[in-house]
């Protein structure tokens, strides 16, 4: 594998530079004085920011973008072998690294490399840690899978030897990383277009733990995961647990209460003893447990409790994570990235503590394989809303060779006794919601695709 030397910056080209993770890595290299270029299908806010930093970004992807002065090319799993730039790189014999391989090499340059993994909660927990480290003036370098307003984007380049990033399990990307601390928030069935089943996923997370350096590495893991000891029983590393049960968790919470907008406060318990009160500025019980993981990681890095409390209080969320978009006709519009049944349940549970009359959930399923394999779980989770509207399945990287649609999910939800509508287009969905939502209702658009546009359109129409 090609090795980069941060003391000898070179010319690096990113195929698909506009992705949330790729753009972040490109920014890190720019600030380390590398010459960075890239390409994407179309311009976006992220690519324009890179251009403002001096990157040459080309649209669309083309073989002509692969020039002879490029020393290294970085690509993602989404790039197919017949991509014109990929083909040109192969023909020119230019060294290549995957996004995950580059990220793994970047973190090798830091004393502490904290990787936040799990089927869900990665972006929020990484962002919580970011706020804590900044409150402590620890000057970290951060790569987060969402837009965090306090760092004006999805990456922060610090000058300390502390690095924090999300670690995604899809295509086993996180097995290319070089962590010193691994956080595992949860391990659930997902990405079943790549993994065989839950056992296969658990095996990958076990391999992820094995990436930790012997004796000096740290694993921070939820004790709520079934048979959580499986992941580290053969590994020589420091283990810290967090979770609901204080008897098997180093970090847990009690006396949990909610404010008027569903944000939790709780008494922090460490090793069985009450420590202090923690106040969060994001809603939902699930964020109590995300914060416990962040607290454990911060204390493991020597961060003081006052900075931890201040950082968690400062964290008000990232884009597309229970994000208030505005109102129309007295209806509050929230958007959330949830696209797995457990995430949907956590988000809709949060709605119970948020001001509302009727909770409308407008859900856009993400990928055909996920929808088919978790159909019953989706129906059960979505039935927590008062009324459900389903959009077409967002295909992402897939084609529909499974013969399913959102209509199948709608039938399952109706069978559970819930009011559910499958509506074909965004325009029709917007008209339906304008007609049926009333003053005091809570409307949440949900999914990892482009369903956010529906809520934004309704809010903008309400301003006209």
Q: Does residue 190 share a domain with residue 307?
A: yes
Give domain status of residue 373, yes or no.
yes
Sign of CA dihedral 213, 114, 308, 122: negative
Q: Of 42, 68, 102, which residue constitutes the final position of a domain?
A: 102
Q: How far apart are CA 447 and CA 337, in angstroms?
A: 5
What pLDDT was estimated at residue 398?
86
**CATH for 290:** 3.40.1190.10
Under DSSP, the state recorded for 23 is H
Q: Does residue 186 share a domain with residue 79?
A: no
Residue 76 belongs to domain spanning: 11-102
Low-confidence residues of the chain, pLDDT below 50? none
Exposure of 135 by Cβ count < 10 A (0-12 exposed, 13-18 middle, 19+ buried)? buried
- For the entire predicted model, the pTM comes to 0.85
What pLDDT was estimated at residue 464?
63
- Asked whether residue 123 is marked as a ligand-binding residue, the answer is yes
- Asked whether residue 313 is marked as a ligand-binding residue, the answer is no
Give domain status of residue 210, yes or no.
yes
What pLDDT was estimated at residue 461?
87
- Total domains in the fold of the chain: 3
Sorted by sequence, the CB contacts under 8 Å of residue 253 that are 6+ apart come out as 266, 267, 268, 269, 278, 288, 289, 292
Closest by CA position to 72, among listed 17, 12, 140: 12
- Asked whether residue 98 is marked as a ligand-binding residue, the answer is no
Q: Does residue 411 share a domain with residue 392?
A: yes
CA 164 to chain centre: 13
Q: Does residue 230 share a domain with residue 121?
A: yes
Q: How far apart are CA 17 and CA 434, in angstroms?
A: 37
Q: Of 267, 288, 314, which residue constitutes the final position of a domain?
A: 314
Q: Of 85, 102, 119, which residue constitutes the final position of a domain?
A: 102
- Asked whether residue 124 is marked as a ligand-binding residue, the answer is yes
What pLDDT was estimated at residue 369?
93
CA 428 to chain centre: 29
Q: How far apart are CA 420 and CA 422, in angstroms?
A: 7
**CATH for 359:** 3.90.190.20
- Asked whether residue 243 is marked as a ligand-binding residue, the answer is no
Give domain status of residue 3, yes or no.
no
């Amino acid at each position: 594998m090609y090795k980069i030397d941060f003391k000898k910056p070179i010319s690096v080209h990113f195929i698909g530079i506009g992705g949330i993770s790729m753009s972040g890595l490109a920014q890190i290299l720019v600030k380390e004085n590398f010459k960075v270029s890239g390409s994407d299908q179309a311009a976006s806010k992220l690519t324009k920011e890179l251009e403002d930093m001096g990157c040459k970004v080309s649209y669309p992807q083309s073989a002509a973008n692969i020039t002879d002065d490029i020393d290294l090319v970085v690509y993602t799993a989404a790039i197919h072998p017949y991509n014109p730039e990929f083909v040109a790189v192969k023909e020119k014999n230019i060294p290549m690294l995957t996004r995950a391989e580059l990220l793994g090499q970047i973190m090798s340059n830091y004393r502490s490399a904290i990787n936040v993994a799990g089927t869900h909660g990665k972006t929020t927990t990484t962002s919580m840690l970011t706020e804590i480290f900044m409150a402590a003036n620890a000057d970290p370098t951060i790569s987060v899978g969402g837009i965090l307003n306090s760092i004006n984007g999805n990456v922060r380049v610090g000058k300390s030897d502390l690095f924090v990033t999300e670690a995604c399990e899809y295509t086993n990307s996180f097995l290319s990383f070089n962590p010193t601390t691994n956080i595992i928030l949860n391990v659930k069935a997902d990405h079943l277009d790549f993994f065989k089943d839950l056992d296969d996923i658990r095996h990958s997370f076990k391999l992820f733990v094995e990436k930790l350096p012997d004796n000096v590495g740290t694993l921070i893991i939820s004790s709520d995961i079934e048979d959580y000891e499986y992941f580290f029983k053969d590994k020589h590393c420091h283990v810290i647990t967090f979770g609901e049960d204080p008897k098997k968790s180093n970090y847990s919470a009690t006396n949990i209460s909610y404010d008027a907008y569903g944000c939790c406060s709780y008494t922090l318990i460490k090793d069985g003893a009450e420590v202090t009160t923690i106040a969060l500025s994001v809603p939902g019980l699930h964020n109590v447990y995300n914060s416990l993981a962040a607290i454990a990681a911060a204390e493991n890095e020597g961060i003081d409790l006052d900075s931890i409390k201040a950082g968690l209080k400062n964290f008000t969320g990232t884009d597309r994570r229970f994000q208030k978009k505005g109102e129309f006709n007295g209806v509050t519009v929230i958007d959330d990235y949830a696209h797995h049944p457990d995430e949907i349940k956590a988000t809709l549970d949060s709605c119970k503590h948020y001001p509302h009359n009727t909770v409308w959930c407008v859900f856009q399923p993400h990928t055909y394989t996920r929808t088919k394999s978790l159909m019953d779980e989706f129906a059960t989770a979505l039935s927590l809303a008062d009324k459900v509207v389903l959009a077409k399945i967002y295909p992402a990287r897939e084609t529909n060779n499974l013969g399913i649609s959102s209509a199948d999910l709608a039938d399952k939800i109706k069978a559970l006794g819930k009011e559910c509508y499958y509506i074909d287009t965004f325009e029709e969905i917007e008209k339906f919601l304008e007609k049926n939502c009333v003053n005091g209702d809570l409307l949440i658009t949900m999914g990892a695709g482009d369903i956010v546009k529906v809520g934004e359109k309704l809010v903008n129409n309400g301003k006209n």
